[in-house]
Amino acid sequence: MKRFAATSAFLVFLSVSTITQPFSMAAPERKDTWLRVQSRHFTLIGNASEKEIRKVGLRLEQFREAVSRFFNQAGNHPSIPITVVVFKDEKSYRPYKPLYQGEPSNVSGYFQSGDDKAYITLVADWNIANPYSIIFHEYVHLLTSGGAWQLPSWLSEGIAEYYSTFEITGRDKKVIIGKTIANHVRLLRQIEFLPLSTIFTVDQASPLYNVSQKKNIFYAESWALVHYLLLGNDGKRQAQFYHFIDLLTSGKPVDAGFREAFRTDYSTIEQELKNYIHRTAFPSRELKLDQKLEFDIGMQTAPLSEAETQSYLGDLLWHIHRPQEAIAFLQRAIDLDPNLAAAHFSLGRLRLREERYSEARKHFQQAIAANSQDHLAHYYYAYSMQWEQVDETRFVTHFSEESVKAMRASLEEARRLAPDFPDTYKQLAFINLVLNENLEESVNLLKRALAIAPTREDIAHTLAQVYLRQQNFKAARQTIEPIANSGVKTENRERAKSLLEVIVRVEAEMARFNAERQAQGNQAQSSTATTPSSTLAAPGRRFEGEQVRGLLTRIDCTDSSITLTIKSGARVYKFHSPKLGETIFVRYTREIPMTITCGPINPAKPVIVTYRKSADAGSKFDGEPIGVEFLKHEGQ
C-alpha cells in the first residue's frame, strides 16, 4: 500500500531575500482586534482594519468573476476553501511567514495550497507595485487545475501570466486584462526564441520548467504566445486559439490540432510571434462593465475570539511546514475552547502527517462531536483509523470487524455531506479491496470517483488493482496503461509500470496454470480410477527446500511482493517473497478454486509450504516461499 501524502502543498513568494534580524515566535498580541469577513467565495481574517480586509476580499471576488468570463464557465472554481489572512503591518506579519534558512522570508505575500484548503496571505501596507500579481497567477492555476480540463504546461503558465496583471479602474467599472509584462518582453528581445515544437512538449519534469534561467524563458515565451494569440493583430488568431484549446482538451495530438486550428505550420506562427514581441506597444483587453462588481455588499463581518484566532494562525503555520509553532497555537486554542472543531481538525491533520494515527483519530472524533457537518473530519477519522492498523511492513494485514463498521459509517456520512468528494469513494473501495469483498461495488465506487476527478491517477491505479483482483485482466490493462505509457516521468508512472508488469505476468501465469490443470485433468481421465498418475509428484515432493504444513490464513500483496501467513499448531509462520509471481501455487483437489486472491483466506486452507530460510537472523519473516501446495481437508 502506498502512503497517501498528508499534503501536496506548493508555496509561492512575491519576493525573497535573507533576513538577518533575530527571530522569535510569539502569540498574536491581544491588543489587536482580529476580524473575520466572509465574502461570497472567500473567508478573510486579519488584524488589519475592516476597510482593508474588505478591500482585499472585493479585489479577489472581482478577479474571480473576470476570470470566469474568460473561461465561460462560472462553475470551474476550486472545490477547496480559500482563507485570506490580511496582516496590518510587517511586524505582525513576520512571525507567520515561511522560513528561509531558519529565518522568516522577506515576502510581501504568498499563496499556499494544500489538499484540504488554500491560504492567501499578505500585508495591508505593501510597498511593491503589484502585490496581487503572483497571487492572481497562482489562483488561475487553482481555477484551471483538476476536472476534465487538464491544460498543458505552456498554456497553463501562459494564461496564468496573462491574468496576473489584472486591474480594476474607472471607479471599479472597467477591467484591464493582459497588460504588458516588461520583464518578459525584455528577456525575449535578448534571447533566441524556443521552437514551438519544444514549448509544446514541456511538462513539470522538463529542465525548461525547473532550471531557473530556462524556466524564465519558458514562462516569458508562454506568456507572449498566449498574449499574441488572444490580442495580437486585432485578435486575428483568437478564434483559432480557442479552437486549438478545444482540440487539445478533447485529446487531439498537438501537431494535428495546431494544423487544424491555425491552418498553418509552426514556423509561420513563430515568425509572427517574433515580430509581435519587437513592436513598440502592446494591446491589452478592457472590459467595460454596466455596473460595478460590488461583491462587498453581502460581506459579513464578525470579531474573532482569541481561541478562533489561535486556531486560524496555528493551521496556517502547519500548512507552511512549521509544525512545532503550530502545535503551540492549536493547543492554546483548545485550552481556551475545548469544543472548537477547527482546532481539533487542524491538530488531527498535523498528527496525521506525523504518523501519530491514534492521536489524529481522537482529534477528528472530537471535531466530529463539535461539528458533525464537516465531511473532511469524517473522512480523516476513517483514514486515520485505517492507518492505525498498518503493520511494520507498511501494508494492511487485516481490519478488525469493529473498525470496518466504524470506518464505513464515517465514510458514508462523509459521502452524504459531500457527494462530490472523490477520496471518500476511493477509501470505501480500498476497504473492500483489503477484505476481498464487494469488488463489483468497488468498481462502481472508483468509476464514480473518476467521474468527479478524471485526472486522479491514484484512483485509476486502485481501480486497476480491483480489476486485477477480479481477474479482469483486459480492464486492468486498459485502466493502467495510459498512466504507465505517459511521457511524464513521475512516481505515479513508475508505480503504474510496475503494476502493469504484474498484470501481464499474472495473466500469463493464469493461462499457463489453467493449461497445466487441463492437461492433468485429461491425463487423470485416461488413467484407472484407482491408480494415480505416475508423472504427478506426490504432495510435499514437488519442491526442494524446508517445509511446513499448516493452514494458510492470509495472503497479503503489494504491487510487487507477497506475504503468506501460515498457522501450524500453536505457531504462526510468515513467508515473504519480494517478487510477486515467483511463488508457485499447486492444487491437488478440485475443492480448491483455480485462483486464490490476496486478503484473508476464509476458511483457512491446508497447505504445504516449501521455502528458503531467511539468511537474516533479525528478519521479521521465516523465509521466502518457493511453492505452496493446497491439500484436501481431512475427511474429504
**Tens digit of pLDDT for each residue in 291-342?**
665 666 678 999 999 999 999 999 999 999 999 999 999 999 999 999 999 9
Confidence label for 9 from pLDDT (cuts 50, 70 and 90): very low
Q: Residue 478's pLDDT is what?
A: 94
Identify whether residues 41 and 73 lie together within a single domain.
yes
Q: Which range in 26-40, 266-280, 577-591 is most confidently predicted, on average pLDDT?
A: 266-280
Mean of the pLDDT values across residues 445-468?
A: 92
By DSSP bridging, strand 82-87 and strand 43-46 are parallel
Please give the mean pLDDT across all residues of the chain. Answer: 82
Identify whether residues 77 and 185 lie together within a single domain.
yes
The CATH number of the domain holding residue 483 is 1.25.40.10
Q: Is the model's pLDDT at 98 over the cut of 80?
A: yes
Whether this prediction's pTM lies above 0.75 is answered by: no
Q: Residue 21's pLDDT is what?
A: 35
Residue written as grid cell 476553501: 81
Tell me the residue range of the domain where 66 lies. Answer: 10-288
C-alpha cell at 362: 481522537
Question: Could you tell me if 167 and 136 are in contact, meaning their C-beta atoms sit under 8 angstroms apart?
Answer: no
Q: Is the model's pLDDT at 617 over the cut of 50?
A: yes
Q: Residue 69's pLDDT is what?
A: 66
Q: Residue 591's pLDDT is what?
A: 66
What span, in angstroms and rounded, lies between the C-alpha atoms of 97 and 320? 8
Among candidate residues 267, 288, 309, the one where a domain is terminated: 288
Task: Tell me, yes or no, whether 236 lies in a domain.
Answer: yes
What span, in angstroms and rounded, lies between the C-alpha atoms of 66 and 292? 12
Task: Tell me, yes or no, whether 401 lies in a domain.
Answer: no
Higher pLDDT residue, 164 or 522?
164
Question: Could you tell me if 215 and 207 are in contact, meaning their C-beta atoms sit under 8 angstroms apart?
Answer: no
Task: Tell me, yes or no, whether 377 lies in a domain.
Answer: no
Among candidate residues 230, 261, 288, the one where a domain is terminated: 288
Q: Residue 71's pLDDT is what?
A: 58
Identify whether residues 506 and 621 lie together within a single domain.
no
**Among 136, 54, 131, CA closest to 90:** 131
Task: Tell me, yes or no, whether 59 lies in a domain.
Answer: yes
Confidence label for 74 from pLDDT (cuts 50, 70 and 90): very low
Per-residue pLDDT tens digits for 170-191: 776 778 889 999 999 999 999 9
Q: Residue 364's pLDDT is what?
A: 97
Q: Residue 522's pLDDT is what?
A: 66
Q: Residue 268's pLDDT is what?
A: 95
Task: Tell me, yes or no, whether 313 lies in a domain.
Answer: no
The CATH number of the domain holding residue 615 is 2.40.50
Q: Is the model's pLDDT at 593 over the cut of 70?
A: no
Q: Out of 36-45, 49-58, 383-392, 481-490, which region has the weakest mean confidence (pLDDT)?
A: 481-490
What span, in angstroms and rounded, lies between the C-alpha atoms of 346 and 350? 6
Per-residue pLDDT tens digits for 543-590: 888 999 999 998 887 766 889 999 998 899 999 988 766 788 777 666
Identify whether residues 118 and 173 lie together within a single domain.
yes
Confidence label for 116 from pLDDT (cuts 50, 70 and 90): confident
Task: Tell me, yes or no, whether 357 lies in a domain.
Answer: no
C-alpha cell at 407: 470506518
Identify whether residues 498 and 584 lie together within a single domain.
no
Q: Residue 55's pLDDT is what?
A: 85
Identify whether residues 498 and 552 lie together within a single domain.
no
DSSP readout, 78-128? -SS-EEEEEESSHHHHGGGSPEETTEE---SEEEEE-SS-EEEEEETT--S
What span, in angstroms and rounded, lies between the C-alpha atoms of 463 and 479? 7
Identify whether residues 445 and 552 lie together within a single domain.
no
The count of structural domains within the chain is 3
Cis peptide before 207 (omega within 30 of 0): no
DSSP state of 451: H
Task: Tell me, yes or no, whether 321 lies in a domain.
Answer: no
Identify whether residues 489 and 611 lie together within a single domain.
no
Identify whether residues 465 and 581 lie together within a single domain.
no
Identify whether residues 93 and 193 lie together within a single domain.
yes
DSSP readout, 198-235? HHTT--TTSHHHHSHHHHHHHHHHHHHHHHHHHHHHHH
Among candidate residues 232, 261, 288, the one where a domain is terminated: 288
Identify whether residues 171 and 244 lie together within a single domain.
yes
Per-residue pLDDT tens digits for 378-417: 999 999 999 988 766 566 667 888 999 999 999 999 999 9
Residue written as grid cell 492555476: 141
C-alpha cell at 357: 494515527
The CATH number of the domain holding residue 199 is 1.10.390
Q: Is the model's pLDDT at 27 over the cut of 60?
A: no
Mean of the pLDDT values across residues 159-167?
A: 90
Identify whether residues 551 and 511 lie together within a single domain.
no
Task: Tell me, yes or no, whether 66 lies in a domain.
Answer: yes
